[in-house]
Amino acid sequence: MMKKLIIPILIAGCMFSTSITAMGASIQDVNVTGDFRLRGYSIEDNIAGADKIPGVKTDDSYLQFIGRINLNAKIADNTTFFSRFGMRNRLGQSMSDGNFNNSYQQIDQYGIRTTQGDWNLSIGRQAVKLGQGMLISTGDEVEYDNKFDGLVATTKMGAANLKLIAGKTSTSEIAERLGGVSSTWYGAEVSGMISPKTSMGFSFANDKPKDSNTSVSSWAVNTSVNVAPNLWLNAEYAKSNANSNNAAYLIGGAYVTAKDVFVAQYQNVEKNAVNQSNSLYSYVNFPFQGVGMSFTNSWDGWFYKYNHIMDKNTSLHVIYMDTKAEGLSGRDKEVTVGIAWGF
């Protein structure tokens, strides 16, 4: 296993080295980080109709391994090359079994980060997120393989933080089976502290799906409040310009200690409120596998998470989801337990 892991990384490293040498740049500082995660999943999607989609197991349990290795290399003053080699394998699964959650091994993030005056610019294939993820979220937090290719620019405006994004998102196998397509995006977020214990953010996004003459505009407002020692309340509300079923919200709490985090969160999402391929709270990306929520105009439910830091490199996490679809019988219940190790 380790040999299979090391070989593609060395090949990728040779590719990067050749490209950088050809441009005449010299690598000054190289930083390698990463994380590995082993999870056990149990899925029970009993929402009416979920078992009718080809290739989907609505009652399933399995192990999944995820690994990510990040490479950051300074190639000039104020300029850094970044890349990430990612791998995912559902243990015992082949790559051609037609399942939604296929295995993969690929360089899934890469690009250049640079500073120009007061602006920090990141150009390439990368993770992007506005607010708490209602409008768009790609990369680490999403179970499936949506990607953002483009520009992310950040700067300060007095006490506020400004983020601008422009680019294209890919989709994923599960999103495509449920009708999702890639989109062209632009958006912005303004955020900051409005009091010593309260942060607030406002975000806007416009996405135009591939082969469509119509774009969708959405906005969201979010807040996080430290209401007591170790206790935080979080909320986000989003709305699109669709004619109906166009609102979504979440509200939750987090209790945080030196080694433990407890999260309980409720979300209610109408189908036209968010991009179904790229929102963190779409019916495609939010559950681990369940798809019964795609058959209705809205879904709602609870999300619970516990994370325990075992040592400086290792943590244990448990996640439980319980959701239902408007007007349909049954519920989608999903649980995962995992160990993560980082370096």
In this prediction, residue 5 carries a pLDDT of 37
Residue 206 has pLDDT above 60, yes or no: yes
Report the predicted TM-score, pTM, of the whole model to 2 decimal places.
0.85
* Cβ-Cβ contacts under 8 Å for 191 (sequence gap 6 or more): 131, 160, 161, 163, 199, 200, 201, 202
pLDDT in tens, 275-303: 887 888 887 777 676 677 777 889 999 99
User: Average of pLDDT values for 214-219?
Assistant: 93
pLDDT bracket for residue 210 (50, 70, 90): confident
pLDDT of residue 269: 95
Question: Which has the minimum average pLDDT: 41-50, 65-74, 166-175, 247-256?
Answer: 166-175
Per-residue pLDDT reduced to its tens digit, 67-98 = 999 999 999 989 999 999 988 887 755 444 44
Answer whether residue 62 shows pLDDT above 60: yes
